Chains A and B, each alone.
Chain A
Amino acid sequence: MAEFNTTLKEQGDISIIKLKGYLDAHTAPVLENKFNELINNNKYKIVVDFQDLAYISSAGLGVFMAYIEKVRENQGDIKLASMSDKVYNIFDLLGFPLLYEIFKTEEEAIRKFSE
């Protein structure tokens, strides 16, 4: 049974979702619920922190694709941060860096929102 959970913290009007564990087709709905919750509360400035994410499959990457346009239509963004090389390589392989801003640290991603 894959373990996956998210924790949410707010910094001003920015929401930071921290991912932990294994994100696959089984656990992706947990992250979908988190995005739905944020969007329902009109929170569109989102940073996703990957520091504690051990694994991602395309089902996990699909979650980011599902919400990005809705978020950007509302002058927000989903910025990604602190990926391990292994996780970044999967994003890179599928061309995600063309569509998403990926930062080395959570702080850099947060700073980018105030530029």
Chain B
Amino acid sequence: MKTKKLIVKSSTENLSKIRDFISENASKAGFSKDDIDNMILAVDEACTNVIKHAYKYSPDGDIIIEIKQDKSAFTITIEDNGISFDPDIVPSPDLQKYYREHRVGGLGMYLMKTLMDEVKYNSVPGRFNRVSLTKKIKAT
């Protein structure tokens, strides 16, 4: 089991640093360019949600990103200590509705679920929120 960790403050300015961290480690793991691009975007979406919803754009929170890799899976966990939320109440995106309301929401979560093989949420209100994004490693 290989692990890598990055801790950054909850500022949107750090999104590029987070993307670079995922890109570098996913490349080393031997994924295809498409898989790497998908992982970068999924993690960006997860971290943007943390900044926006868990920390309400306060730049002082911590975002802890950890990569764990074994023979069968490459898993990225994103942890924060901000406000908890229930992922089950986030509706699937409805573009027609957004069009009428001039807003978007839920696109990030939809992308995460579409781009990764597995997305799991784990929350202990007042302590931490954790989302795990997994890409399976195909046996060669």
In the complex with contacts A57-B41, A93-B111, A2-B93 CB distance below 8 A: no
- Majority SS of interface residues in chain B? helix
Kindly state whether residue B138 has any CB partner on chain A within 8 Å: no
Q: Residues of A with Cβ closer than 8 Å to B?
A: 1-2, 22, 24-26, 55, 57-59, 61-62, 65-70, 86, 90, 93-96, 98-99
Q: Residues of B with Cβ closer than 8 Å to A?
A: 12-13, 15-16, 19, 37, 40-41, 44-45, 48, 51-52, 93, 95-96, 98-100, 102-104, 107-108, 110-111, 114
Residues of chain A contacted by B104 (CB below 8 angstroms): 58, 61-62, 65-66
Residues of chain A contacted by B96 (CB below 8 angstroms): 99
**Cβ 8 A contact of B93, one of A68, A90, A94:** A94
Please name the residue on chain A nearest to B107 by beta carbon: A58
Using A26-B16, A93-B111 as known contacts, list a sample of 18 further A-B pairs with CB atoms less than 8 Å apart, ordered by residue number in A: A2-B16, A25-B44, A26-B13, A26-B15, A55-B41, A58-B45, A58-B104, A58-B111, A59-B108, A61-B107, A62-B104, A66-B103, A90-B111, A93-B114, A94-B95, A94-B107, A94-B111, A98-B95
